[in-house]
Amino acid sequence: MNYSSYLQLERLLSAQTLESERLNTPAHDEMLFIIIHQTYELWFKQVLFELDAVQTALAEDELDDREIADVARALERVLLIFKTLIGQVDILETMTPLDFLEFRDMLTPASGFQSVQFRLLESRLGLTRAERLSYDGRDYDSRLTEEDRARVREAEAAPSLLDQIQAWLERTPFVAMGDYDFRTAYESALDEALAADASIIETHPHMSEEERKTQLEGLKRSTQLLRALFDADRFEELRADGEWRMSREALQAALFIMLYRDEPAAQTPFRLLSQLMDLDEAMSVWRHRHALMAMRMIGRRVGTGGSSGHEYLSRAAERHRVFTDLFSLVTFLLPGSKRPPLPESIKTAMAYRYAGAAE
């Protein structure tokens, strides 16, 4: 065993076959293009490997604090990988549009849309077929091989990370414990906060009537969305319309964790929820950077795979998100000073306990 054989460098470093050289029309930047995309695929493989561990842990009916911390660490690694992918766009953009045009047509009909690993990654996170943009008027996996389509369908049929996070949140014990009911305490505090928001809008001296009307309508809509968290029938109506993805019980628990994140038992769960939001954001930024790069490289040309190029990528950056419910919940947070106080019994249940050694 040595460095080269362990890393199989002979195979790795001979995997860059330049189409421009094969056709005897050398294009210097094709090497960079290949290496960047091969690196993407290696990172996707690592992300899928981390998701294996995360989803295996979350598949258990019970998850202790140590396992939650392991899940959070794995997601932190995934997040840093996507931040690295965003940085790789800077390297790719050292290639100018003229440089890319030297070999671009040789790639047709190959396209990044044919990356089965990225499609698996999206599906395993929780992006469903119904939520995806159509690809050239067809299903997003239409350009994959039959074998790869089967892998994608298998991933779609299995519980996603979103499904598992929902089930984990639904088991949160502190939302309703003994005589304590988070809903009752929260709604009372929320009424005061919403009334204060409405008063600020109605009396704001520098707001036009049109702005005032728009702000009040937005506040009314947000209030209706939140009220639905505590009204089963209305919630299911909104969920059927796509306003919410997770269950009512899961969202109530997530809101509780966000509000009482400083309590010891909520600190690691809050870290986990924050990382899911960070990951959604990082993937959107990466898609958006990709869209801008496509516009910079090919303008309004059709993509090599037949898509609408920049337009498709830009729309996907906004639409292909998974943990949007967590972002929406932030609308309903209260200042720390306005949070309803927890009963001592709940604070005790959420505290760390340490009994010193007997003297």
Domain annotation for the chain: domains and CATH numbers: 20-173+260-320 (1.20.58.480), 175-245+323-351 (no CATH)
* Dist. CA 157–CA 94, nearest whole Å: 40
DSSP output for 60-84:
SS---HHHHHHHHHHHHHHHHHHHH
Q: Is the dihedral of CA 255, 258, 262, 267 positive or negative?
A: positive
Residue 265 structure tokens: 């038992």
Residue 210 burial by CB count (10 A; 0-12/13-18/19+): exposed, middle or buried? Answer: exposed
Given this model, what pLDDT does residue 251 score?
94
* Dist. CA 274–CA 280, nearest whole Å: 10
* Dist. CA 72–CA 273, nearest whole Å: 9
* CA-to-CA separations, 25 to 29, 108, 317, 332, in angstroms, rounded: 12, 16, 35, 59
Given this model, what pLDDT does residue 306 score?
47
Helix (H, G, I), strand (E, B) or coil at 246: coil
Q: How far from the centroid of its chain's Cα atoms is residue 198's Cα? A: 32
Do residues 303 and 143 lie in contact, with contact meaning Cβ atoms separated by under 8 Å? no
Do residues 143 and 114 lie in contact, with contact meaning Cβ atoms separated by under 8 Å? yes
Predicted structure pTM score: 0.88
Q: Which residues of 310-338 are buried (b: 16+ CB within 10 A; e: fewer)?
A: bebbbebbeebbbbbbbebbeebebeeee
3-state helix, strand, coil in the chain (%, to 5): 70, 0, 30
Given this model, what pLDDT does residue 255 score?
94
Do residues 50 and 112 lie in contact, with contact meaning Cβ atoms separated by under 8 Å? no
Mean pLDDT in each 10-residue stretch from start to end of the chain (359 residues)? 96 96 94 96 98 95 84 96 95 92 86 88 94 78 89 95 96 89 84 82 88 87 79 88 92 95 93 96 93 83 56 83 93 84 92 62
Do residues 170 and 322 lie in contact, with contact meaning Cβ atoms separated by under 8 Å? no
Helix (H, G, I), strand (E, B) or coil at 341: coil
* Dist. CA 238–CA 297, nearest whole Å: 41
Determine the length of the chain.
359
The amino acid sitting at 62 is E
In degrees, to the nearest 5, what angle opens at C-alpha 312 toward C-alphas 299 and 291? Answer: 55
Do residues 267 and 72 lie in contact, with contact meaning Cβ atoms separated by under 8 Å? no
Neighbours of 246 (CB within 10 A): 24
Given this model, what pLDDT does residue 114 score?
87
Q: How far from the centroid of its chain's Cα atoms is residue 239's Cα? A: 19
Q: Is the dihedral of CA 289, 323, 123, 312 positive or negative?
A: negative
Do residues 340 and 185 lie in contact, with contact meaning Cβ atoms separated by under 8 Å? yes
Helix (H, G, I), strand (E, B) or coil at 135: strand
Given this model, what pLDDT does residue 355 score?
54
Return the beta strands (E) in the chain as ranges: 176-177, 180-181
Residue 2, phi then psi, degrees to nearest 5: -140, 175
The amino acid sitting at 52 is D
* Dist. CA 49–CA 8, nearest whole Å: 20
